Amino acid sequence: MKVLVPIKRVIDYNVKARVKPDQTGIDLANVKMSMNPFCEIAIEEAVRQKEKGAATEVVAVSVGPTQAQETLRTALAMGADRAILILTDQDLEPLAVAKVLKAVIAEESPDVVIMGKQAIDGDNNATGQILAALLDWPQATFASAVELSAGKAKVTREVDGGLQTIETDLPAIVTADLRLNEPRYASLPNIMKAKKKPLDVKELGSLGVDTAPRLKVLKVTEPPKRGGGVKVETAADLVAKLKNEAGVL
């Protein structure tokens, strides 16, 4: 069973995003970039499926700038077998990314796609669902447990109010939620080995996919700041303030 894992290079999880003064976007110059945390979980899941014999090959794919090769090398160091970069400097919308991935899937024919549920930059939570629809594949989003068997995936999903378990036919799209697993750190020997694993780079233009934006960003602004609060000395002071000053009790 072949697993395809799309991944994205984004602002590092621990870095606070800053809006550009001209309101055209987020200032990413000299900002630490990393693999999107949900994509790490997706890679980890694919590698674990291979380690327990359910999967035979893990292919990581990214759609992004030339620096995304570093992110793909991280995926290779975590245990992916090979990687593909679809090279573009455009910041693509989820619909366009899904169309590009559909073209990659037409060449790669994976049995299952495991990907993060959301990238922490755009916070769209959309690409997996779009890809499933474009391919007419079933989807199992927000996965916290995945069992792969011949022609089927049994997935436990984090839903409003608790957990839901569904079974889908394969091929299918699975999107990873936070509690699916805890991603490993790549060991130094594995980082060295990853340098020799195959990484194909293809120009976005060679796929012949329409990636024109549908959403025009008019401006990007900072959210309103909260005014500074006060410290109280005791729990009794706190209750008095909540009752008399804030009026919320």
Partner 1 sequence: MAVLVIADHDNASLKDNTHKTVTAALKLSGDVDVLVAGKDAKGVADAAAKIAGVRKVLLADSDSLGQGLAEAFETLVLPMMAGYDAVLTPATSQGKNIAPRIAAKLDSAPISEIVEVVDASTFVRPIYAGNALETIQSSDAKKVITVRATAFKAAAEGGSASVEAMAAGPGASKTRFIEQKLVKSDRPELAGAKIVVSGGRAMGSAEEFQRVIEPLADKLGAAVGASRAAVDAGYAPNDYQVGQTGKVVAPELYVAIGISGAIQHLAGMKDSKVIVAINKDGDAPIFQVADYGLVADYKSAVPELMAALTAAGK
Site for partner 1 in 101-140 (CB under 8 A): 117-118, 120-134, 137-140
In this chain, which of 56, 67, 90, 165 binds partner 1, going by CB under 8 A?
A: 165
Residue from 41, 63, 172, 199 in contact with partner 1 (CB under 8 A): 172
Rounded to the nearest 10 degrees, how much is the dihedral formed by the CA atoms of 112, 201, 195, 181?
-30
Mask of contacts with partner 1, 44-73, x by CB under 8 A? ------------------------------
Distance CA 110, CA 2 (A): 5
- Out of 36, 74, 141, 181, the only residue in the binding site for partner 1 (CB under 8 A) is 141
Which is closer to partner 1, CB of 125 or CB of 190? 125
Residue with tokens 């991935």: 101
The Cα–Cα gap between 125 and 112 comes to 19
**Rounded Cα distance, 210 and 222, in Å:** 32
Q: Where are the alpha helices (DSSP H) in 111-168?
A: 127-135
Residues 23-42 that bind partner 1 (CB under 8 A): 26, 38
Q: Is 142 in the site for partner 1 (CB under 8 A)?
A: yes
Token pair for residue 72? 């793909």
Question: Counting contacts by CB under 8 A, is residue 231 touching partner 1?
Answer: yes
The residue from 21, 29, 107, 226 that contacts partner 1 (CB under 8 A) is 226
162 part of the interface to partner 1, by CB under 8 A: yes
Question: Applying CB under 8 A, what is the total number of residues that bind partner 1?
Answer: 84
List, in sequence order, every residue forming a beta bridge with 82; answer none if it has no partner: 59
